[in-house]
Amino acid sequence: MSDQHPELHELGWSDWFERRAECKPGETIARVAAVDRDQLLLVDQNGHFRAKLAGSYRYRHQFSHELPCVGDWVCLDRQPGDAFGVVHAILERRTSLRRKSAGNATDDQMIAANLDRVVIVQSCHVDFNPKRLERYLVMVMDGGADPCILLTKTDLVEPAVLAAQLAEIDSIGLMAPVLTLSNVTRDGLDEFKRLLAPGKTYCFVGSSGVGKSTLINRLIDRERLETGAVSGTGEGRHTTVRRELIRLDGGALVIDNPGMREFGIVGAESGIASRYADIADLASNCRYRDCTHRGEPGCAVRGAVDSGDISREQIESYLKLSGESDFHQMSHAEKRKKDRDFGRYIKSVKTDLKNRD
Ligand SMILES: Nc1nc2c(ncn2[C@@H]2O[C@H](COP(=O)(O)OP(=O)(O)OP(=O)(O)O)[C@@H](O)[C@H]2O)c(=O)[nH]1
Ligand SMILES: [Zn+2]
């Protein structure tokens, strides 16, 4: 299909969405920049504007994960002169970050959608905790986004301490990039900025106090954060909405909202880890010891996909998480070691999740 929305690429649009856009004639596409109760702040090639969800959409979609969240792409109706656009559809999400509900997956709370990379931030000073890092990793991968690990406050520890932490992360054997920086000395800041590609969407998760806001303020100039709010009058109510989807000078998009801050603190994610553990168990039944689960005969993992026991998405994120995309390039001994390490890793995450509450 030809690209019908070149002007949206700076906002994160891609062929993936183009193939799934099912807008009716006359409807346009925009991205959700913030959600404020029943009002949406949208952005398209012409700038920011307000919108509401069509009553019919609300009627047909009652689960919380079906409601728009920041980062979503929507189809809307907006006549010239209208104060509000009317949103009729939300495009399929390529990735998401969601807070798992204790009960049904349909009650999951969406935090943000269509993130390309989630930066998991820990301070190397007092916050460093590999177990927590692993939990974040599993949650990020479960939503389909690529993770990246960032250690902040390098100015507060001796180089040897930092080196030991990096070695510990390395021993987990994940393929996610690991970066370090100090918001104070700005050491590592330029390297980190190089990771941010134009038209890609990023967000930052991690415990309170690790330096997420400080870093985001370094990336955006402060002024834009404060004047980023858009005022408007909605049915007699005067409100101000702070933009949560921010475009950096280099063209990368950053989502920053309060939900991010709480992400990972809430429990009940053990379902995810046990799902991965199930796949790891299955893999031990594959005919070939070094099966990559990418089409070998006698593959138990593919078998489970074919019979519908596990979804293709789960397998994809499992393969990503286990780093098995690089698997076939390893020697036999390396593969054996990796299998063992990953099995152990998954078990530790699972145990850790169990022990948490
Ligand atoms: N020494 C040092 N201090 C830092 C660094 N980055 C942030 N800080 C300080 O750490 C404190 C917390 O930083 P924030 O940016 O507010 O942390 P946060 O992750 O946004 O925290 P929440 O908003 O609660 O999620 C502030 O006092 C910062 O000045 C760093 O690289 N080195
Ligand atoms: Zn297999």
pLDDT top residue among 258 and 45: 45
**From the CA of 285, how far away is ligand 1's center (Å)?**
47
> Is 299 annotated among the ligand-binding residues?
yes
Domain match, 307 and 216 both: no
Find all residues with CB under 8 Å of 351, minimum gap 6, and list them.
none
Which residue, judged by its Cα, is nearest atom 25 of ligand 1? 208
**pLDDT tens digit string along 50-73?**
999 999 998 998 888 899 999 999
Residue 277 has pLDDT above 70, yes or no: no
**From the CA of 301, how far away is ligand 2's center (Å)?**
5
What residues are neighbours of ligand 2 (ion), with CB under 5 Å?
286, 291, 293, 299, 301
CA distance 189 to 181: 6
- Maximum average pLDDT range among 53-62, 148-157, 271-280: 148-157
The mean pLDDT value of the chain amounts to 80
Domain match, 321 and 340 both: yes
| Ligand in closest contact with the CA of 288 | 2
For 122-146, the three-class secondary structure string (H helix, E strand, C coil) is EECCCCCCHHHHHHHHHHHHHCCCE
Residue 155 confidence (pLDDT): 95
Domain match, 121 and 141 both: yes
Specify the range with the lowest mean pLDDT, choosing from 18-22, 167-171, 181-185, 258-262.
Answer: 258-262
How many separate domains does the chain show?
3
Residue 101 has pLDDT above 70, yes or no: no
Residue 236 has pLDDT above 50, yes or no: no
Give the residue from 35, 66, 90 where a domain finishes. 90
Domain match, 209 and 352 both: no
Which residue, judged by its Cα, is nearest atom 30 of ligand 1? 153
Which is nearest to 247 in space by CA: 4, 13, 6, 5? 13
CATH number of the CATH domain containing 143: 3.40.50.300
Domain match, 158 and 57 both: no
The neighbouring-strand residues paired with 196 are none
Domain match, 306 and 230 both: no
**From the CA of 154, how far away is ligand 1's center (Å)?**
12
Domain match, 326 and 348 both: yes
> Is 69 annotated among the ligand-binding residues?
no
Distances in whole angstroms, Cα of residue 280 to Cα of each of 130, 253, 327, 350: 21, 35, 15, 12
Contact 152 CB / ligand 1 (< 6 Å):
yes
CATH number of the CATH domain containing 279: 1.10.40.50
Contact 125 CB / ligand 1 (< 6 Å):
no
Domain match, 132 and 207 both: yes
- Residue 1 forms part of a structural domain: no
Residue 229 has pLDDT above 50, yes or no: no
Distances in whole angstroms, Cα of residue 54 to Cα of each of 72, 83, 240: 16, 14, 21
> Is 155 annotated among the ligand-binding residues?
yes
Contact 216 CB / ligand 1 (< 6 Å):
no
- Residue 109 forms part of a structural domain: yes
Share of the chain above pLDDT 70, in %: 75
Residue 333 confidence (pLDDT): 52
Domain carrying residue 215: 96-262
C-alpha Rg value of the chain to the nearest Å? 22
The neighbouring-strand residues paired with 41 are 34, 50
Residue 143 confidence (pLDDT): 87
Give the residue from 72, 90, 108 where a domain finishes. 90
**From the CA of 215, how far away is ligand 1's center (Å)?**
8
**From the CA of 299, how far away is ligand 2's center (Å)?**
4
Which value does ipTM take for this structure?
Answer: 0.95
Give the residue from 203, 231, 262 where a domain finishes. 262
Domain match, 104 and 252 both: yes
Going 123 to 126 to 128 to 129, the CA torsion angle's sign is: negative
Specify the range with the lowest mean pLDDT, choosing from 108-117, 163-172, 301-310, 319-328.
Answer: 319-328
- Residue 235 forms part of a structural domain: yes
Residue 263 confidence (pLDDT): 61
| Ligand in closest contact with the CA of 263 | 1
> Is 210 annotated among the ligand-binding residues?
yes
Domain match, 43 and 79 both: yes
Domain match, 107 and 64 both: no
> pTM for this structure?
0.74
Cα 272-95-321 angle, rounded to 5 deg: 45
With b meaning 16 or more CB within 10 Å and e meaning fewer, what string describes 313-338?
ebbebbbbbbbbeebeeeeeeebeeb
CATH number of the CATH domain containing 35: 2.40.50.140
Domain match, 247 and 278 both: no
Which residue, judged by its Cα, is nearest atom 32 of ligand 1? 153
pLDDT top residue among 261 and 255: 255
